[in-house]
Amino acid sequence: MKALAKDPLFVVALAVLTLHVVLALLATHVAPYPFDQMHYDAAMKPPSTTYWFGTDRYGRDVFSRVLYGGQITLAFGFGAVAVCFLVGLPAGLIAAYFGGIVDQVIMRIMDVLMSFPTLLLGLLILIIAGPNLVNLILAVGLVYCPRTTRVVRSAALAVRQSTFIEAAQVRGERAPYIIVRELLPCAWGPIIVEFCIRLGYAILLGASFNYLGLGVQPPAADWGALVQEARSYMVRAPWTVIFPIIFISTLVASLHLLGDALDEWLKEGDVA
C-alpha cells in the first residue's frame, strides 16, 4: 500500500474521483439553485459570480445542473457495472474453473451478445423496455457483461493452471470453495482493473444513450443529456457544453488511471 500512496498518478486520480463522488453526494447542499429552476431574465449568460458555469437557454444554472447530473451519471455508472459483475464474475469464474462444455456454453452465449454493436443492442433493449434510469442501467450492464465475463475468465484461467488448484482438488475440496477461496483471490488484479475501466466505459455509453434521449427524461439530465440539450446553441453559449464534458472526461480519465495504478501495484505485490 505504501508504494501506491507514493504513485502521483494514483493519488491524483483518487483525489479527482473522490471529488466527483463527494460533489454528487452533496449536490443538494453545494448547488446554489435547484437543477430545474429557470431564471428567464438571465438566459444564456456566460460564467459569472452569480452563475459560476453560466446559464442555459431557459436561464437554468449550469453549475447546479452539472452537480445534479453527476448523481445520475455516477448512479448509473456504478449500477451498470454492478449488473456487469453480477453476471460476469460468476459466469467467468465458472467457465474458467470447469472448462470443457460448461465453458463452451457460457462463452458462446456471451459471444452472441457481443456480436451486436453496443449502441444497437442497448437501443433495442431501451426501446422495448422504455427509457428510464433503471432500464438504462440494465441495458448498459447487459451490453457490457460479456466483456467483463471474458476478462474474469482469462484472469481465472491463468490461475486455474496452478498446482495449488490441483492440490485443493486432491484434498477433496468442493468446487465452490476452490472457486471462491483459491481461484478468486489470485485473480483480483485484472478484475479490479476491469472494474475501474468498465465503469469509465459504462458512464460513456450511458452518456451516449442520454445524449440520444433514451435515458433519464427532462427536466432531469445527466452529463450526456446536458450536452445533448446544449448542442443546438453550443456555438453561442459554449459553456453549456464545455463544463459537462470536463466533468465526464475527468471522471473517466481518473477511473482509467486508477485502474492502471492498481494493476501495476498488484503485479508488484505478486513479485515481492
Partner 1 sequence: MPDALLGVDALSIAYRSAKGETRVVRDLTFRIDEGEIVGLVGESGSGKTSVALALLNYLPRGGRVVTGDIRYRDQSLLTASRRELRRIHGRRIAHIAQDPASSLNPALRVGLQLEEGMLRHLGISTAEARNRALALLEEVHLRGGERILQAYPHMLSGGMQQRICIAMALACDPDLIVMDEPTTGLDASTEAAIFDLLRELKAHRRLSVLFISHNLAAVRGMADRVVILYGGRCMEHGPTTTVFVRPLHRYTQMLLNSLPTMRGAATGDIDMPWQAARAPAEGCPFRDRCDLAQPECGQEQVLVEVAPAHGSACRRWQELPAFTVTVPNAANGGDSVPGDWNDNDVPSPPGREAVIAVRELTHRYRNSLLAAHSRATRLSLDKVSFELRAGEVLAIIGESGSGKTTMARCLVGLAQPHSGSIVVGATDVAALRRRPLAIARNLQIVFQNIAGSLHPRKRVGTILERPFLLYERRHATDDQLRDLAHSVGLRAEMLEKRSGRLSGGERQRVALARAFAPRPAVIVLDEAFSALDVSMKMKVRNLLQQKQSELSASYLLISHDLPLVRSMADRVLVLFQGWVCEVGQRRIIEAPPYHPYTETLVWSALALESLKPSTFELRPETSADTGTGAAGCRFHQRCPRKLGTICEREAPPQRQAGPDHTIACHIPVAELATLQHAEWLPRRGAEAVS
The contact set with partner 1 (CB under 8 A) reads 162-164, 166-167, 169-173, 182, 185-186, 270, 272
Q: Which is nearer to partner 1, 235 or 272 (CB)?
A: 272
As a residue count, the chain comes to: 272
Cβ 186 to partner 1 shortest distance, Å? 6
Three cell numbers written together for 47:
460564467
Min dist. Cβ of residue 163 to partner 1 (A) = 4
Between 18 and 169, whose beta carbon lies closer to partner 1?
169
Report the residue number, 29 or 171, with the smaller CB distance to partner 1: 171
Q: Which is nearer to partner 1, 178 or 261 (CB)?
A: 178
161 vs 232 by CB, closer to partner 1? 161
Question: Which residue is associated with the grid cell 459537462?
Answer: 244
> Least CB distance from residue 142 to partner 1, whole Å?
32
Question: In angstroms, what is the minimal distance from the CB of 169 to partner 1?
Answer: 7
Our CB check for partner 1 shows the closer of 49 and 161 to be 161
Please state the closest distance from residue 172 (CB atom) to partner 1, in A.
3
Q: Residue 174 CB, nearest distance to partner 1 (Å)?
A: 9
